[in-house]
Amino acid sequence: MSTPEERLSELGITLPPAMKAVANYVPFVISGNQLFVSGQVSATPDGRITGRLGETMDLPAGQQAARYCGINLIAQCKAAVGELSKIKRVVKLGGFVNCHPLFTDIPQVINGCSDLMVEVFGENGRHARSAVACPTLPLGVAVEIDGVFEIDS
């Protein structure tokens, strides 16, 4: 089986530098054999993906925004542990979607990140998850997702 880095390459994904914190928190914390990654926003190397699902963004755009959150989560994992093969399992994702009150496809938006985790980590990428609607998110982003990962200790 190929490594997570090889799978990223096969998917044509180059990890960006891990994002720096924008307030009074740290990007990640390791406690025992768990890695807690702070919420990663929908941002590309060119800038943040802003917008509101059901108003200025449709479902496919939201799924792409969530995928970028996943890429940023993986970049934080790499910054935390070095080689991604040290990630034993994606344990849980918490997804937040900036959306109109009548927009109900919140779980489908977060699938953009969940699908990426399975593509990169295989069966160990399957995880528990929450998906929540929000009236707004920091910096006006469309999606924010945090994660808990089991790591080799």
Of 72, 55, 67, the closest CA to residue 109 belongs to: 67
Q: Give the mean model confidence (pLDDT) for residues 118-130.
A: 98
Which domains are assigned to the chain? 4-151 (3.30.1330.40)
**136 band by pLDDT with thresholds 50, 70 and 90:** very high
The mean pLDDT of 58-71, rounded to a whole number, is 98
Pairing mode, strands 128-134 and 87-98: parallel
